[in-house]
Structure 1
């Protein structure tokens, strides 16, 4: 059976193990969406992962979802990432940038702009702003002629990511953000070529991926998906048909990998494994649910045909997570109160495992 600690080739990259650090919002960026020296240290500490996927990085100002998040749409932002990727590479790691356009999950208090989305339908719940939580506003529905520009934003940010030293990019097509909103049957109530039928609802995702492939190459382009997920109030009708169709179109692009969250029943996910001919990353437990991914869940999905396994929260308090998993060492809990508070506490302050002398 495939082991979590076997190597795996991903395009031009040889991953020393099959442990992926999942993208997680940390809101530690400096003003202007700049990466910081602390971010370089944070990712370098975790460079023993087979692959790191960064926190969500906005590809445009209107695409910013949360305050305190980094971007890749200005020269200053691009320059600020170079020490981060250099630190990861110096420690022997590999890192993809996750490109995250928030779509309707944003607020004018954060960006100074009205959020945009496939339709004028507000997200469910409150969004984070510099002034505290606020009800999600009604977004401006994109005109048909505007949609390709937002797909192209991922490609432009991907080019900047490669300039900044990233090994590739992962499009955030999950968790209720812009790509996920277009896939949705309730956030997307369009009647043009981007809404309605399955073929139309997948179009934006495919166009964003294709533009990114054209910009940086297929082996540097990946996408994350949450089939059947209901984050921020999105719903998806015909989930198996929707994702079979999407993966069929993405397969033509020969992406580096598809990253799937366990937001659907296992039989649905197994159907997607059969539908996707390339490398599959699986996050085996419900994101933000009560359980964290552990060795048992990882081994289970490797046995079901996943190529790589992503770990989220376990990486927060365990910079040496790979060693802990390899040697069956205790996995330390993270302090949830420090998740989005800024500063280095709960960010750079978690130690590696201390062996008894």
Structure 2
């Protein structure tokens, strides 16, 4: 673990190690109102470490942006105290915390969007699901955004970024992955527009550019990250040439000198492993096109995380499933300690059980003395 546990400057911050908490939708907000719950503050506080980075699960920027009942959101003042408690819980352990901002686009249902049709760049057949009070149900039919509507959504991203700043976070991450709205614009399987936001890749990344610029206007480029999922399959997404598309995306983002590029490897689909044993491929072909820090995510263990950082293809590795059941994951990886198995049944909603009740390997005082 000689490379995984060395300092790294990421945007405005110097981290003490390279093990990050990946954003995971866990559906633990208080309803109604999508209020961040005390158990969420416990969860994130438990997983914080001195000089470590946590990226908070996809936070919807408006009611029409929501996809899953119980998922995180930040669009009204009543949510602010809960988010402040989460930021404080991470800072109390010396960690850094970025809020991931998301618009679900067509991956939604009228019960989640306030009764309006989900939106997308174009109307393309989609058999995905959303989560409502009736459980996972087929997504509602979506409609194509009018070009005059797009600036309003960009402004919602900017407003949410300002809310995150006011709540005490250290930065924001744009969710441009997993078939949600930003990704729907980027990939030609879902973007069939013929206006300034469709057609050639230069047009398909226009929405990405505008949202990134909105976040930078609040935070500065060195406190903004972007997550992408080249060849990802979540959300019925597809592109005719993903390597060319996402190499271009990486070049565009490199121009802005953002804090980091966060890459989900295509061996992962949501919380499932699709291609067991596949070596990381996306980070490798993106590395020549992005000069800043790259965070790799999807299917890593301690040894493979150390290997990709040592290779230079990535600078940090984000863990989701293993971090869900090991609140002290950096400590365990550093000392090659056994990992507590994750509990998949608790991923998509529930209470504290198999969420914030996983024990650390050692009492906190001993960990603080030995990490």
Give TM-score, length-normalised by structure 2.
0.90
Asked whether the equivalents of residues 122 and 137 of structure 1 are also in contact (C-alpha less than 8 Å), the reply is no
Q: CA deviation at 1:354?
A: 5.2
2:321 is matched with which residue? Answer: 313
Which is worse superposed, 84-93 or 262-271?
Answer: 262-271
- CA apart distance, 1:240: 2.1
For residue 290 of structure 2, what is the aligned residue in structure 1? 276
Corresponding residue SS for 1:342: coil
When the two structures are superposed, what TM-score results if normalisation uses the length of structure 1? 0.93
Give the C-alpha shift of residue 16 in structure 1.
1.3
| Equivalences for residues 249-268 of structure 1 within 5 A | 249-263=252-266, 266-268=280-282
Q: For 2:156, which of 121, 130, 153 is the aligned residue?
A: 153
The 8 Å contact of residues 201 and 245 in structure 2, kept in 1 or not, is answered as yes
Once the two structures are superposed, residues 153-212 of structure 1 have per-residue CA deviations (whole angstroms, 9 ceiling, x without a partner) of 222111110100110011110011111111121211111111111111111111111111
1:94 aligned residue (81, 96, 114):
96
* Residues 1:245 and 2:248 are matched in the alignment: yes
Equivalent residues in 2 for 1:119-198, closer than 5 Å:
119-198=122-201
Q: Is the 8 A contact 2:154 2:210 kept in 1?
A: yes
Asked if residue 29 in structure 1 is aligned to residue 43 in structure 2, the reply is no
User: Aligned pair 1:110/2:112, yes or no?
Assistant: yes
Q: State whether residues 109 and 131 of structure 1, in contact with CA within 8 Å, keep that contact through their aligned partners in structure 2.
A: no
Distance 1:298 1:132 in 2: 35
Does 1:299 find its partner at 2:300? no
Q: Which moved more, 1:346-355 or 1:88-97?
A: 346-355
Q: Look up the SS of the partner of 1:111 in the other structure.
A: coil
Counterpart for residue 288 of structure 1: none
Identify the match of residue 344 of structure 1 among 349, 352, 356.
352
Flag structure 1 segments of 5+ consecutive residues without an equivalent. Answer: 286-292
Q: What does residue 52 of structure 2 align with?
A: 50
In 1, the alpha carbon distance for the partners of 2:20 and 2:362 equals 23
CA contact (8 A) 1:66 1:129 kept: yes
CA–CA distance in 1 between the matches of 2:34 and 2:282?
37
Deviations for 1:53-76, whole angstroms, at most 9, x for unmatched residues? 011100111111111012111111
1:180 and 1:222 mapped to 2: Cα distance? Answer: 15
Contact 2:176 2:227 in 1 (8 A): yes
Q: 2:209 aligns with which of 206, 209, 215?
A: 206
5+ long unaligned stretches in structure 2: 268-278, 364-371
Report the Cα offset of residue 337 of structure 1: 1.6
C-alpha deviation, 1:217, in angstroms: 0.9
Whole-angstrom CA distance in 2 between matches of 1:246 and 1:319: 33
SS of alignment partner, residue 98 of structure 2: strand
SS of residue matched to 1:133: strand
